[in-house]
Structures are given as structure tokens and as C-alpha cells.
Amino acid sequence: MSWIDVGALDDIPLRGARIVKTKAGCVALFRTDEAEVFATSNTCAHKNGPLAEGIVHGKQVTCPLHNWVYSLETGEAQGADEGHIATYPVKLEAGRILLDAASIEARSAA
Amino acid sequence: MEKLVVIGAGMASGRLLEHLFDAAPEKFEVTLFNAEPRGNYNRIMLSPVLSGEKTYEEIVTHDDAWYAQHKVTTRFGERVSGIDRARKVVTSPNGDVPYDKLIIATGSDPFIIPFPGHDLPGVVAYRDLEDTNAMVKASSVRGAHAVVIGGGLLGLEAAAGLRLRGMEVTVLHNTGHLMDRQLDETAGYLLQKDLERRGIKVITKATTKTIAGDGKVEKVTFEDGSEIPADIVVMAVGIRPSCSLGTEAGLEMGRAIKVDAQMRSSDPDILCVGECLEFDGNLFGLVAPLYDQAKVAAKTLLGEDDAFKMRELSTKLKVTGCDLFSAGDFADGPNREDIVFRDPKRGVYKRLVIEDDRLVGAVMYGDTADANWFFGLIKDGTDIEEMRETLIYGPAFQGGGGATADPLAAVAALPPEAEICGCNGVCKGDILKSIAGGATTLDDVKAQTKASASCGTCTGLVEQVLAVTLGDGFAMPTEKPVCNCTDLTHEDVRRLIKSQELKSQPAVWQNLAWKTPNGCPTCRPAINYYLLADWPLEYQDDGQSRFVNERNHANIQKDGTYSVMPRMWGGMTTPDELIAVAQAAKKYDAAVKVTGGMRIDLLGIKKEDLPAIWADLNAAGMVSGHAYTKGLRTVKTCVGSDWCRFGTQDSTGLGIKLEKRLWGSWTPHKVKLGVSGCPRNCAEATCKDIGIICVDSGYQIGVGGAAGMDVKEVERLVDVATEEEVIEWVVAFMQMYRENAKYLDRAYKWLNKVGLDWVKEVLADPAERQALVARFDISQSVYQKDPWAERAVPSEAVKFQPLADLTQEAAQ
Ligand code: SRM
Ligand SMILES: Cc1cc2nc3c(=O)[nH]c(=O)nc-3n(C[C@H](O)[C@H](O)[C@H](O)COP(=O)(O)OP(=O)(O)OC[C@H]3O[C@@H](n4cnc5c(N)ncnc54)[C@H](O)[C@@H]3O)c2cc1C
Ligand code: SF4
Ligand code: FES
């Protein structure tokens, strides 16, 4: 994997999110714990709600528009709703957030 | 005999020598260097030495007699300055020493943050006996202040020791909770409470700026300009491997000296043990793995086979009375689940992290009796599927019975003096007495004690006291809990936040036995509101516990853009304001709509542009209209006596005064006001949360109106004669609603529950009114600030931009 540094962990508030722009739309980075970050598509499978604006709880996010809940680990919508968002490899190193360039490019090509 | 030279007489090399002399006493002739002017002692016991529970003599592991018995040539107080691998000698100021085999065991150096003033006398690290003695000396001055920078293991042990020696101690920690590497927020909160109980001040999210003093340390200053006195500053912010000898000798390096599983460096005659080495990408900071390394290194020196393996590590804090344990891994990974157990009465918190039916991490606070059992499960990777249900209760529960957490535990745990009914000052003990005297129903208790006889918000709690006391003898009415994270109702939670003085979200989660680690989108916004309404000065509003509109201070639209709606006080505006609004609309390409609330809405603004459009509107003197909040929305007015031929009073002016007084405050649900100049009611005041009708003799104040999903006419609260009285009554009503209503109840819903009579009764007392007004004003001193202006500054505006833009990267 080829990792790209996209910013500092502390630029995301605890239980908050920020987005990274890519050619094929935005990737959302969620900080679920002091040292835990997930990367997913920012776009809700329901009506394209911007997921980074949702409330982050446990390892889940609730869409800001109509409250669909997604697992940030699997990208699956929870409960009765059916839908899926893409998830991407992400890792933390010395307080920095690294995204995998290959998966991001694969996303752009798709 | 072969010549073995050892650099560093620390915990790792000490253990290595013991193994070596046990197995082959005559094989090596040992020379032992140590930069410290002494031999091997148990470094981890420096904390009891600091606190006075032990003396240095008691923690020495190898004394002169031991070294003599094993014929070790000791060179204590000598720092080795270099290694010449070609000649196989080590260099020290007192001459070279040749070796056949060399051990580097130089440990770590404490990391010092280079704040201005970090080199003043009185700034110490916490690593060796000299540091410990310096702290003991500083504590001998009565009333002296110590500041410990770093709220990790070492810093807290230092703080506890200094406190036991009678110092005033403050711990500064840069993140949100103590020991954030080992503990989650709740355990960190409990630890902080325990430390505070023993008189240690803790400042989290500390923004230390300088250490200052004239010739020696005197104080520590912060970014916000505040400062605290300091006679000694202990910096305990981390360690760095002490490995420069390896770099200079040309050994293969990573972040420390790289070794293989036999503890050999890239030069097979040079071995390493301890914190100065790197194995397989890992560094070390606790003794357990160092002891394994020492065993392996001894075998390697003796020509026997062995290999070092990484093991799971656990952490404990050596501060008496703070029982904490953490082990394993809490970091990300797919398919992880939490099991949480809380016992607020005993201050116990346990959290297990499970992945694929195996335990991968555990944090516990307050009761660590089962820690070793859990640690064993983690290390062995035991399949826990069978015992999952009862796992958190520990080994005693396995193979039998099975238990579930008692949903009424929070109430059962309350002490008798805990206040249950705030209106009538009834404590749990009073209710217990009435039950003992024969009361079996809510009405009995109400009749005998007056508990829940006034505003009624404590009804749920009274019922729960009945239920825990009478057991099956009492059938609980089913009032809905806040959400699946708790069994308590909103009213219970509000009452308990007040009576137990819970001032942070982790405090609520722990003391009220939340079932999830950090709540859900239903309870978090509610708890955030209750805390900021009850403790405006102490609690810090949490943006991550707000829905998008309130977090971004604009209403999100279906396409992800936002609407921007500045205040127009009482519906009045000016040509200049209108020009500014028009210019902003053009510049940011907004749709323009006049709202039903007498102001102008700019729609379709991109999130990135919000800080800029706010700055433009601020420049024209306009502030947020809070069209997005559970807070004051609009105050509708009519033209009133200024213009209208029927107007009896200055309804426009009064509306503006009320809006200027109330704006910025947070409320359980939105609050809308109307002020009409006469009973014709052009401002629709009779269907607002608070509506005022001006009449010849003064003002009629009505409350509890609405015209949304329900249409309700206001009910009369009071008639008054002057504007001043209107403002006092309205502010007092607003504060009563803020302090008592359930989150997301509009005023009319709350009034339905508590009854307008009770509200009238309370507000009729001038002292009560003034007290409510005073509390409202305290809250406004914090919250009546334009949120747009606060976010239009560059340091905040960046948070509205994407973290990174990779559209360029992927271009080729
Ligand atoms: C903009 C506006 C409509 C308009 O174009 O005129 C409006 C727009 C929205 N209203 Fe409203 N309401 C607007 C006046 C009203 C009024 C009329 C009034 O205030 O005089 C009412 C009925 C009066 C009342 O509240 O009792 C009204 C009753 C509601 C309700 C139902 C509330 C209820 O308790 O039943 C909601 C839903 C809610 O708040 O939960 C709502 C919610 C909303 C939201 C916030 C829905 C949402 O979450 O996105 C809309 C935001 C759109 C946006 O981005 O601006 N809006 N809304 C009006 C803004 C007034 C202002 O200047 O602040
Ligand atoms: C106050 C305190 C409490 C602790 N509590 C715990 C605990 O509860 N549990 C736990 O597991 N761990 C604890 N630790 C950590 C533990 O003490 C260390 O992990 C351990 O001591 C490291 O052993 P070491 O042999 O690598 O280094 P050290 O024990 O530091 O020994 C290295 C020695 O090498 C000497 N030296 C360095 N460079 C040279 C040179 N060039 N020439 C000659 N000599 C040199 C140093 O002076 C030092 O004496 C604690 C540490 C401290 C300071
Ligand atoms: S109804 Fe009354 S206050 Fe409203 S405009 Fe007419 S006269 Fe004026
Ligand atoms: S767009 Fe996400 S829930 Fe509707």
C-alpha cells in the first residue's frame, strides 16, 4: 500500500469528522476515539446526505439528513435500512492520518 | 575467561547478569559501567521512595557485596562515550576497556518539551534517584507548589507522591483525559475524580505556554494568559531510547538499536537489552518484556538457543486507592464490540473489547480483582463465545447462574441524603421513612412527604425508590427511558444531574450507569443540553453532541448546502443591512426568501463559504439569527404605537428589547416570541411559545402557544403594567423552562406535564423570579456571543474546509 498523509489526528475533534476531497467525491474521516479513525465514502446511500456532518457514536455514524445509521467498520447500514457505503484503509502514525493512495485512486477510476 | 562489558546498570542488564551468573558463574569477566553514580536498583519503586513509603536502601537490587561476590568490576558514575568496534574497546573518560562481548543497556532519556524556561533550575524529569531527591527536597518547604506536566503513568505517580509529602500539586495534561494512552474517557474521569479527592488539581486540555521565573522556576503560564505558581516543575511527558552510542558506532538503527530475536545487534558481538533497543518495529517502556529480553540475551551469550517473543502488556498505576488496569488493544479494526459494566455506587467501570469471539482489550477502574483473569483471556486468545453473556462479571460467574445488571442500580445506589424532589427538598431518606411507615404507592409518598407534589419531574425517581425498596410489592408504571443507553427517563436524568452535581458527559455515563461507551444520537444532544443549562460556567458545550445545524450554525438543505439567516431585531431592518444582505446574496450566489419569521433567508450556501459570508454580514453589524437552534428563534412584532392607529404600546420596541435579552440562549426546544400592539394580534402572539398582547393598562403575557404540528393558543401567565415587569417575567419563565423541561419538549408540552398552576405559583414569588433571572444572566454571560463571529476567524474557519484535497494528486 502507498500511504498519503492527509492531516493531523488532532484536526478532527473527538467523535467528529472531516472530509478529504478526491476526484470521485469526498471521503469522510471519522474520529471515534482518541486514537481511532475510520475512512468511508461521505455520501449516504439513501439520498446522498453528507455523512461527515452526522453524529458519531461508538463506531457508527448517523446520517444528518434522515438518520440512517452506518457501521464505520463495515460500511453497512444498520437496523431496518438497507444500504452500503465504501470503506477505505486508514492508519495513524505519530499523530498523522494516512490514507491508502491506491484505494483512493481505484475509487476515482471507478 | 571472556571479557564482557556492560553499558548501563539498569533493570534489564541487572536481570541479565543474574541469569548469567546463575548458569555459568565462571564464564565471563564482567565490567559494568553506569552513568548514575550507583549500581542496580529497582527503578519502578522510585514512586514509593518519592512518597516516603520506602527508602532508597530498600529498593537496591544489587549491593556492593553482590558485585564483589561475582567479581564484577564496577565503573559507576562513568558515562561511556564511544564504542570502537574495529578495536573492540569501549571508551570512557577514565580510559578504554576491551571486550569480547558487549551489552548495551542504556535505557531511555526522559523527553523534555522545549517550552521557554524548560532549562530553569527547578524543572526536573522523573527517571532516576537524583530527580526523586530533587522532588523530595522541594516538598520540604511548607505550602510549596508542584506542577506536573504529563498525566500519564509517571506523571500521576509523581503527583501522588508529591501530594503525600504535603505539596500543592497541579497536573497539566494536554489531551481531554488522563492516561489517554491506556484508559478510555470514563476510566480517565474516575481516575481524575479520585485524584481530585486527594487534593490533586487536574487540568486537562492544558495549553502550557512557558515556564517562567527569575533564576529558578516560579510559575507556569498558559496560552490564555493565566498562570499558576510553581516551586518545582516535573516534566513527565514521555521517553526517548538512549541509543546514540549505537548510532555513532554504525550499528543498524531504527528508532533505537535494531536487534534480532536473539538480542543481537547488526554486530554479532554486541547485544542489547532494555529500552534502548527496537525489535520488529517495537519499542519498550515496561519491565515485563525487558526481563524476557534479559533471559534470551543470557542464553545467546552462553551459546544456547532461545528467541524473544512479543507479549501482551498490561498497565497498572502504583497509586494507592486508584485501582486501574488496562491491557490489550482498543484501536480500530473491523468487527469489534464493547461490553460495558458500570457500578456508580462503588465507582466501578469495566469495559471489554471483543473481536471474533476473543477478548482483545480490557479497561477496568475501581475493581481490578478479575484483571488477571481477563488478561489471561487476552493473552491466550480464549474463545469466549460460550461465556459472552456473563463475561463481564468475571470468573466467579462462569459455569453457573448468570446475572444481568440491575436496571435500578443507579437509584439503589443513591445515599439517603440524596435529594430526590428539588421543589420540596425531599431526600431519599425521607421517602424510605415513609415507605417504612407503610406507604406503598406514589400517592402515599406524595401525601406524606410532598415528594413529586409540585413540578412532578421527580415522579420517575420516587417510583424507582418505591420499586427498589418494595421489590415485587410495587408495579412500576412504564414511562419511556431516554434511549437504549439507559433505563432512566429524561426527568430522572435531569434531576440526577442536578442532585449529584454531574458536570460532564463521562460523569453522566458513569454515575447513571449508561450501557454504551459514549451514548447515541438520541441521548447525546439531550445530555449536552442538560449539562450546559445546569452548569453554564463549568460545562463545555460539545459540538460533537449536536445535530448538524447547531454544530455548523446554519440549516443544512437537502443537497448538502446551507441556509444563512441573520437576525433582524424584532423584524426591523435598515437600508444598509438590506444592501449587505443583497451583496452577500450576489457574492455567494444565494437564493433569497423572506421567511415566515420576519427576516431574510439566503439559501444554497456551500459549507466552505459559511465563515466568509458570516464575516461579510458581521461587517455590516448583523449576527446569527439562530434559525437552526433549539434556542431563541424570532420575536415577531407589529408596528405598534409608533405607527398604528390602534397601537396601545411600543410593541416593536418591547419585542426588540426581549430579543436582545434572550438571543443566544439554548433551550430544550425552539422558542418563538410575538409581541402585538393590541388584541387584533397582527404579530400572532397568541400562538407563540411566549406571546405578549399590549393593552391600554399594560401587558398580557401568555405562554405555551404553538402553530406547528399542534396548534395551541397561549394561556395567560400574568398581566403586568410595565415593560420592566414583562422582561422579568419572560426571562424567569424562559429560565424555568430551560431548567426543567425535557429535551425536545416545546413549552406547551412541558406545561402539559407540570401544569401552568405550578409555574404561576413559583413565578409569583418575586425572590424566585429574581433568582431565575440571575441564573439566566449567568448562562448568557457564556452563551450570548455571536457564534458566526466566533467561527469567522481564520483559526476556526479552516475547520469548515476539507482536511485535504486529493483531486490534484490523482490527476496523472
Ligand atoms: C425558513 C422557514 C420557512 C419560511 O421560508 O418562511 C422555516 C423553515 C424551517 N422550519 Fe419552520 N420555518 C419557518 C417558520 C416556521 C413557523 C412560523 C413562525 O415561526 O411564525 C412555524 C410554526 C410556528 C411554530 O413554530 O409554532 C414553523 C414550524 C416548524 C416546525 C414545527 C414545530 C412544532 O413544534 O410543531 C418545525 C419542525 C421542528 O422544529 O421540529 C420546523 C422546522 C423548520 C426547518 C428548520 C426544518 C429543518 O430542520 O430543516 C426549516 C429550515 C429550512 C431552512 O433551512 O431555513 N418549523 N416554522 C421559517 C423561518 C422563520 C425564521 O425566520 O426563523
Ligand atoms: C518512576 C518510574 C516508575 C516506573 N514504574 C513502572 C512500573 O510500574 N511498571 C513497569 O513495568 N515499568 C515502570 N517503569 C519503567 C521501567 O523502570 C523501565 O522500563 C526500566 O527501568 C528500563 O530498564 P532499562 O534497563 O532499559 O533502563 P534503565 O533502568 O533506565 O537503566 C539504564 C541505565 O543506563 C545508564 N546509562 C545510560 N547511558 C549510559 C552510558 N552512555 N554509559 C553508562 N551508563 C549509561 C543510565 O544511567 C541507567 O542507569 C517506571 C519508571 C520510572 C522512572
Ligand atoms: S393589530 Fe393592533 S398592533 Fe397590529 S397593526 Fe393593527 S393595530 Fe397595530
Ligand atoms: S440521506 Fe442519509 S438518511 Fe437520507
B568-598 burial code (b ≥16 CB/10 A, e <16): bbbbebeeebeebbeebbeebebeeeeeebb
Higher-pLDDT residue of B371, B256: B256
Q: Please give the average per-residue pLDDT across A1-30, as a whole number.
A: 93
Q: Please give the average per-residue pLDDT across B536-546, as a whole number.
A: 94
Contact: A57, B547; criterion CB under 8 Å: no
Contact: B545, A20; criterion CB under 8 Å: no
Assess contact for B330 and A36: CB atoms under 8 A.
Answer: yes
Residue B340 to chain A, least CA–CA distance (Å): 12
Contact: A105, B810; criterion CB under 8 Å: yes
Average pLDDT, rounded, for chain B? 90
How far is B7 from B76, CA to CA, in rounded Å? 10
Model confidence at B402: pLDDT above 50: no
Question: Ligand 3 mean position to A69 CA, how many Å?
Answer: 49
Domain boundaries, chain B: 2-108+241-301, 123-237, 323-405, 408-543, 548-624, 632-783
Model confidence at B781: pLDDT above 70: yes
DSSP letter string, B247-279: HHTT--BSSSEE--TTSB-SSTTEEE-STTEEB
Higher-pLDDT residue of B412, B652: B652
Model confidence at A110: pLDDT above 70: no
Q: B469 phi and psi, to 5 degrees?
A: -80, -45
pLDDT interval class at B405 (50, 70, 90): very low
How far is B478 from B311, CA to CA, in rounded Å? 50
Q: Please give the average per-residue pLDDT across B796-811, as a whole number.
A: 82
Residue that has been written with the C-alpha cell 465514502 in this structure? A41
Model confidence at B598: pLDDT above 90: yes
Segment A40-79, tens digit of pLDDT:
999 999 999 999 999 999 999 999 998 899 999 999 998 8
Instruction: Output the pLDDT for position B411.
Output: 75
Domain boundaries, chain A: 3-100
Tell me which of B174, B509, B803 to substitute to probe the interface with A (most A C-beta atoms closer than 10 Å): B803
- Radius of gyration in angstroms for the set of CA atoms belonging to chain B, rounded to a whole number: 34
- Identify the CA nearest to A14 among candidates A31, A35, A39: A31
∠ at Cα B633 (B628, B635), nearest 5°? 160
Which of the ligands is closest to the CA of residue B674? 1
Closest CB to B803: pick one of A7, A33, A49. A7
Q: Please give the average per-residue pLDDT across B256-268, as a whole number.
A: 96
Model confidence at B401: pLDDT above 60: no
Question: What H or E segment, with its residue span, contains residue B615?
Answer: helix B610-619
Instruction: Output the pLDDT for position B317.
Output: 80
How far is B542 from B528, CA to CA, in rounded Å? 7
Architecture of domain B123-237: 3-Layer(bba) Sandwich (3.50)
How far is B60 from B30, CA to CA, in rounded Å? 20
Closest CB to A6: pick one of B334, B517, B804. B804
How far is B386 from A94, CA to CA, in rounded Å? 38
Contact: A55, B336; criterion CB under 8 Å: no
Q: B89 phi and psi, to 5 degrees?
A: -135, 155
Question: Ligand 3 mean position to B655 CA, how many Å?
Answer: 14
pLDDT interval class at B331 (50, 70, 90): low
Instruction: Output the pLDDT for position B403.
Output: 36
Nine-digit cell string for B8: 548501563
Residue in chain B lying closest to A34 (CA): B180
Segment B83-126, tens digit of pLDDT:
999 999 999 988 899 999 999 999 999 999 999 999 999 999 99
Segment B712-729, tens digit of pLDDT:
999 999 999 999 999 999
Atom of ligand 4 at shortest range from CA of A68: 3
Contact: B521, A62; criterion CB under 8 Å: yes
CATH classification (class only), B632-783:
alpha beta
Contact: B803, A36; criterion CB under 8 Å: no
Model confidence at B521: pLDDT above 60: yes
How far is B500 from B427, CA to CA, in rounded Å? 12
Residue that has been written with the C-alpha cell 463506531 in this structure? A59
Residue that has been written with the C-alpha cell 454515575 in this structure? B511
Assess contact for A49 and A56: CB atoms under 8 A.
Answer: no
Instruction: Output the pLDDT for position B410.
Output: 66
How far is B312 from B306, CA to CA, in rounded Å? 19
Model confidence at B419: pLDDT above 80: no
Which of the ligands is closest to the CA of residue A63? 4
Atom of ligand 3 at shortest range from CA of B679: 2
Residue in chain A lying closest to B333 (CA): A73
Model confidence at B400: pLDDT above 60: no
Question: What H or E segment, with its residue span, contains residue B65?
Answer: helix B64-69
* CATH 3.40.190.10 fits domain B548-624: no
Q: Is B358 in the pocket of ligand 2 (CB under 6 A)?
A: no
Question: Ligand 1 mean position to B556 CA, how many Å?
Answer: 13
How far is B213 from B231, CA to CA, in rounded Å? 10
How far is B469 from B235, CA to CA, in rounded Å? 51
Contact: A26, B802; criterion CB under 8 Å: yes
Residue that has been written with the C-alpha cell 420592566 in this structure? B724
How far is B628 from B595, CA to CA, in rounded Å? 13
Model confidence at B459: pLDDT above 90: no
Tell me which of A2, A22, A34 to substitute to probe the interface with B (most B C-beta atoms closer than 10 Å): A34
Model confidence at B456: pLDDT above 90: no
Nine-digit cell string for B232: 518545582
Q: Is A99 in the pocket of ligand 4 (CB under 6 A)?
A: no
Q: Kindly report the protein residue whose alpha carbon is nearest to atom 39 of ligand 1.
A: B670
Q: Is B599 in the pocket of ligand 1 (CB under 6 A)?
A: yes
Which of the ligands is closest to the CA of residue B695? 3
Segment B183-211, tens digit of pLDDT:
888 888 889 988 998 899 999 999 899 99
Contact: A22, B810; criterion CB under 8 Å: yes
Q: Is B242 in the pocket of ligand 2 (CB under 6 A)?
A: yes
pLDDT above 90 coverage of chain B, percent: 67
Strand ordering across the sheet containing A60-62: A55-57, A60-62, A69-71
Q: Is B746 in the pocket of ligand 1 (CB under 6 A)?
A: yes
Q: Is B399 in the pocket of ligand 1 (CB under 6 A)?
A: no
Model confidence at B329: pLDDT above 80: no
Fold: same for B2-108+241-301 and B123-237: yes
So what's the ipTM on this one? 0.74
Question: Ligand 4 mean position to B545 CA, how many Å?
Answer: 19
Instruction: Output the pLDDT for position B344.
Output: 77
Q: What is the CATH number of domain B408-543?
A: 1.10.10.1100
Residue A88 to chain B, least CA–CA distance (Å): 12
Question: Ligand 4 mean position to A68 CA, how many Å?
Answer: 6
Nine-digit cell string for B782: 457564556
pLDDT interval class at B462 (50, 70, 90): confident
**In sequence order, what are the residues at sequence separation of 6 or more whose Cβ sits closer than 8 angstroms to the Cβ of residue B246?**
B104, B253, B256, B257, B265, B272, B276
- Radius of gyration in angstroms for the set of CA atoms belonging to chain A, rounded to a whole number: 13
- Identify the CA nearest to B391 among candidates B380, B404, B381: B404
* CATH 3.40.470.10 fits domain B323-405: no
In angstroms, the Cα distances linking B137 to B131, B134, B800 are 10, 5, 51
Architecture of domain B2-108+241-301: 3-Layer(bba) Sandwich (3.50)
Closest CB to B805: pick one of A21, A54, A64. A21
Model confidence at B479: pLDDT above 70: no
Question: Ligand 1 mean position to B357 CA, how many Å?
Answer: 48
Question: Ligand 1 mean position to B525 CA, how many Å?
Answer: 20
Q: Which residues of A touch B517 (CB under 8 A)?
A: 58
Instruction: Output the pLDDT for position B279.
Output: 95
Q: Which residues of A touch B805 (CB under 8 A)?
A: 20-21
Q: Please give the average per-residue pLDDT across A66-95, as a whole number.
A: 91
* CATH 2.102.10.10 fits domain A3-100: yes
Assess contact for B651 and B641: CB atoms under 8 A.
Answer: yes
